[in-house]
Amino acid sequence: MRRFLVLLKKEFVYGATLMKIMAYSFAIGYSILFGFVSRLSEYMFLCILGMMPYIIAMCSAPQIVLSISSDKNERTGEMVLTTGVSLSTYVFSKLLSSIIHTILSVFLFLGIYLPAAGRITGNVLTMNEVLLYIFACIVINIFYCCISLMIRLSGFAHKLIILAFLLIVAAFLVLIFVNSFMAIPLMDQIPKALLWPVLFVYGSICLIVGVKMLTVRDFVAK
């Protein structure tokens, strides 16, 4: 636990790249939300508003892929992993740091733009939506983390197993995005509220299977 917290603190405090991504997400949110507001119908505006947190989460979450990748290329991962830190501690500290950054990015957008948008549209964020966005941030991070592990895994069979898991998560993510953007009545807030936790549990199983297949060798530069 002590090692986990040390790694988490380092990732969180010194993850400068991720902070930049947060800033970019903020800028994207600003330009889309207010750049088009006068040219869109209120219906379209609400659709974009509903989709933006997911888009921001998708933009922020790849920090875990970048972080693991740069650790490998710069051999800092090899330095850290040869201190006796276990692979699961290393991966999960990166994942948690990435999740926190993503949630911060999303709620930075929501906290600043929704009150402003609320004045225009009367849209108010409910607790149900807050929980949905938190679940979404976690699931999207787990999805990227699994991609990163899949790239790293040395065995072809292992890659295929994780890919099979990931395709299902990917299919549901696309469905949710399309639903958010198009406001298709196929899934309203209630099924979505169920879908995110189900994806979270499924994605976590996928991640644990992936981590169990890893070896330090997968994090060592050739």
Indicate the residue among 79 and 208 with the shorter CB distance to another protein.
79
Q: How far is the CB of 6 from another protein (least distance, A)?
A: 4
Q: How far is the CB of 24 from another protein (least distance, A)?
A: 19
Indicate the residue among 86 and 126 with the shorter CB distance to another protein.
86
Q: How far is the CB of 58 from another protein (least distance, A)?
A: 26
Q: How far is the CB of 86 from another protein (least distance, A)?
A: 7
Q: Binding residues for another protein, per CB under 8 A?
A: 2-3, 6-7, 10, 14, 16, 74-76, 78-86, 215-217, 220
Indicate the residue among 43 and 156 with the shorter CB distance to another protein.
156
Indicate the residue among 79 and 167 with the shorter CB distance to another protein.
79
Query: Which positions ≥6 away from 144 have C-beta within 8 Å?
Result: 61, 62, 64, 65, 98
